[in-house]
Structure formats: C-alpha cells, structure tokens
Amino acid sequence: MATATPIPHKITPEERKVIFASSLGTVFEWYDFYLYGSLASIIAKQFFAGTDPNTAFIFALLAFAAGFIVRPFGALVFGRLGDMIGRKYTFLVTILLMGGSTFLVGILPSYASIGIAAPIILVTLRILQGLALGGEYGGAATYVAEHAPDHKRGAFTAWIQTTATLGLFLSLLVILGTRTAMGEAAFADWGWRIPFLLSVFLLAVSVWIRLSMSESPAFAKMKAEGKTSKAPLSEAFGQWKNLKIVILALIGLTAGQAVVWYTGQFYALFFMTQTLKVDGSTANLLIAASLLIGTPFFLIFGSLSDKIGRKPIIMGGMLIAALTYFPIFSALTHYANPALETALTNAPVVVTADPAQCQFLFNPTGTKKFTSSCDVSRTVLANASVNYTNVEGPAGSVATVKIGDKVIQSYDANGLSKDDAAAKDKAFKKEMSDAIKAAGYPSKADPDQMNKPMVLLMLTILVLYVTMVYGPIAAMLVEMFPTRIRYTSMSLPYHIGNGWFGGLLPTTAFALVAYKGDIYYGLWYPIVIAAVCFVIGMLFVKETKDNDIYAADF
C-alpha cells in the first residue's frame, strides 16, 4: 500500500460535535445489543416456556449467539451500501433497525400468549439486531476517521472504541437500577421489559443526532469526482490486492483483538460467576467498576498510537495478554474463592472411562446432547469447577469418578427413556454433589473470604489489555483500505473476528475445560489465537498511521 503525505485537514468545532454525537449513538446501539445477553435467563422463561428449563435456557443463548453469527453478513450488506450511497445514511438505517428491533422485544407477547410464534419472532429480531450491528461499527469508525484531522485519527476513533464498553456498562446499570427499584419477582414477571422499552428514547435521541450530521468529507469529495465504487463487494474481495489485506486484517489483527476483548470482559464475568461461584450482583459490580476505571485508557492508547504507531500497541497488548492470562486467572481464584483454590490442591479427582466414550464437548448451537457416562461425568465436574485427571478405562466400561476415598459410578443415558434418564441424572448429580461438598469444594464463594480490592485489580488489568488492542484498531483498519471500498473492506474482518472468534470464546473455553479437567484450560483458546495473530501481525501487517486515507485508491 502506498504511503502519501496527508492532506491537511483542520477540524472545526461543528465537526468535533458531530464526531462525539456519532460515538454517543453507537453507545446506544451497543446498549440495545447487550440487553438481551444480560437478561437471557429471564427471557428463556418468557419465550421458550414450552420446553424444560435447561432447554429453554440453551435456546435463549442460541438466540443470543444468532446476533453474533450474522454480524459479518450485516457488514457485507451495509458495507456495500455505505461505499455506494454514503456513510451518513447507511448508519442512520442501522440505528433505526437496531433500536426498532430492541423496542419490539420489549412489547413482544410471551410464549404463554402466542405460543411458538413468540420464540420465532424473538430470534428474527435478534438476527436483525446482529445485521444492524454488523453495519454499525464500520460506518461509525469510517465516518469519524474521515472527519478527523491528520495525525489525530487514533485519538478521535478511540471514542468509538469506548462505545462497546460504555454500552455494556449502561445496560448493566439500567438493569440493576430497574431490578432494585421493582424487586426481583416483579422484574422477572414483567419489569425486564422496561430496559428494552427505554431504548425507544435512546433511539429518538440517536436518530436526531444522526440526522444533524454532514456526510464524511472524504466520501463527499470522492462522490463529487465520480470515483465511488460501482461494485464494492467484488472490488474488495474479488481482487487479490485488496483481499489479501482483508485476510491479514482478520488473522493478523481482529481475531487476536477479539479474543482479548471477550476474555477481558465477557469471559472474566463468566469465570467469576460460573467457575468461581461468585454471586451475580457482586461479580457484575466488580466488572462494572473495572470497566469504569479502564475505559479512559481507550482514549490514552488511541492518542498514543498517533505518536508511536498503531501496530506496537496492538501487538504489545496481544503478547502481554497471552503471557499473563494464566497467572491473572489463578490470582482471581486465589482472591475471589480461596476455599476453591484449597480444594483444587488438596482433593484431587479422577475420572476413569473408556476413551471412545469421551467426546470433545463443543456445543456452539446449544442443541447437541452428550449422553455417554464419560461425558455426563465430565460435564457435572466442569459445572462444579472441579479439576480432574482422566484415566483410561476398559473398553465398553461405565465411567467412574473418584473423589477423595469415594468412588461413584456414572450412568449411560443412551437408550433410556426421558423419565428414566432424568431420574438417573438427578440421583447421580445428588451423589456427586454430596461427595464434592464433602471433599471441601464450596458451592459458592464466601464473600467474607473474598479480597475485593485485589479481584478488582485483576479485572482492571484484563480491561487494560482490552484497551491496548481495541483503542487503536479502528484507526488502523480505516487506514488499511482505500476510501472507495473502506466501509465494506474493514467491516467484514472486524465482524468475523469479533462475531465468530470472539463470540465463540465462552463455548470453546468450556469445552476445553471439560475435555482436560482443568478450570484454566479454556484460556488456551484466547492465548493461542492472540499468539498466532501476534506472529502474523508482526511479520506481515504494516504500520498505517501515516497512510493517506483521503485517497480513493491505494
């Protein structure tokens, strides 16, 4: 890619206001998207009531995942529009689509009212949200970068980078406030709809803001000169000179950025609540506090990237994260649930099973059933945060679990009726639970033993890694591609990286934990992805901070 001397571009107070406004609108969009994930367990009971509770929750999570899976397709649809008709009107459409879908979730009748139509409509609305988000980020980042003055793109686009974190923070705040004001019973019954309904006010503000925007100067100039792309998709992905940059943006930047982002925010929360058994309110407050402390560093690292370059900060964040995840998550266990740490050391558990019965428990759709005695045993232990060693048993044998001096025989659910399988499962889990408790494994973290300041410090460090990889990346992605196909080209690798590599992180990590019998083994997923991206990025991705982003072509 050619590097040119940037054309001077002095930002005006009005443009500064518009850049801030576009970031604010993106906060609202992320708020809409995160509401569903935060309320998945309640939504499961409202819209999937025709199934048993476990299946209902699985399908609720599947609906949440649908929003991530379709994000790259939204990037293609809206990226094409953005490169053909303009940035302003395209991401005005995305906010309308996101806000409207969110509001409709708030008024959607439950399964009890309209039956199977309820979950079908819900999943459809989630897909629309995912499509909208797929078009939103590329438009906002491109729009802000093309308004920013030369040598300030990192500082200005860093505001866009704060929006996902601030949107998550805002959604947690509104949910917590509504829950506290109404009480748990009323909130679970109908109060959960209020955060969704409030989005209509956020939508009105966002639309008003975006209608007041002017078109990006780079796009307006290109359009006036008749240089807009007639076929952005084929130009971006059908020509090797552009496609290779798209591929490098994915495997040398966004995939690594995504796993660091999701580990530092989503997986940290999952690990606290599901593995360390910290109560949800405490975990959410600690995560929220770490986000509040860490968010200014998006702006700090974005501004720093204007001086020393985007690449060293992003690559440094990936490398430090990969090298320190194991000690940081071990420290979280030590400070959040010391009783669990003691039990992991003093009460080893052994699973003896026929290896042929032991599958890799990867279940991204939530619909696959694992019924062998080995899989049943490992799932129970993984859910209880118990480390275990796998020992090879005789072919065809039923798995056994040794906890201390007690040996428990598992069961094979294959061929059993639904009722018989449920009865055996209940009895097995009860026996396992009693043995796990007797071995010293706590059922939940003791708040009196928790060192909250140190837990907060560990969580804040994880958020700082997020700010390193995420703060400068919008500017870097914008600078990698020419104006005529920028919206399309940068959106796709970003949303494949974040929607797929990042979105699959919790599921993949849990499967790795269950496979190995080690509560920290799931960290290998983000570590390997970050390390691979670091190597590819260092070798093949070029620094971009001095690129001329006003050129129609490179």
String of DSSP letters for 190-241: IITHHHHHHHHHHHHHHHHHHHTPPPPHHHHHHHHTT---S-HHHHHHSSHH
Domains and CATH numbers, the chain: 9-228 (1.20.1250.20), 238-337+451-543 (1.20.1250.20), 349-438 (3.40.30)
Query: 290 with 527: CB under 8 angstroms?
Result: no
Which strands sit side by side in the sheet containing 349-353, from one edge to the other? 389-392, 349-353, 400-403, 406-409
Residues of the chain by 3-state class (helix, strand, coil), percent to 5:
75, 5, 25
pLDDT at 363: 58
How much is the pLDDT for 451? 96
pLDDT of residue 4: 44
pLDDT digits (tens, 9 = 90+) for 439-449: 888 888 999 99
H or E stretch including 56? helix 53-69
Handedness of CA 465, 471, 477, 480 (dihedral sign): negative
Instruction: Tell me what the pLDDT averaged over the chain comes to.
Output: 84
* 3: three-class secondary structure by DSSP: coil
406 three-state secondary structure: strand
Contact 211, 89 (CB under 8 A): no
Do 159 and 19 touch, CB atoms closer than 8 A? yes
Residue 271 contacts residue 264 (beta carbons within 8 Å): no
The two tokens of residue 85 are: 């008709």
Distance in angstroms (rounded) separating the CA atoms of residues 298 and 465:
10
- The whole-number pLDDT of residue 14 equals 65
CA distance 118 to 116: 5
Q: Two tokens at 550?
A: 């006003």
Is the distance from CB of 131 to CB of 77 less than 8 angstroms? yes
Residue 97, Cα to own-chain centre: how many angstroms?
A: 20
Instruction: Determine contact, residues 403/431, Cβ cutoff 8 Å.
Output: no
pLDDT of 469 reads: 96
CA–CA separation, 46 vs 110, rounded Å? 5
Say what the pLDDT of residue 7 is.
46
pLDDT tens profile 51-84: 555 556 556 666 766 777 888 888 888 888 878 7
Tell me, what's the pLDDT at 42? 81
Residue ranges for the chain with pLDDT beneath 50: 1-9
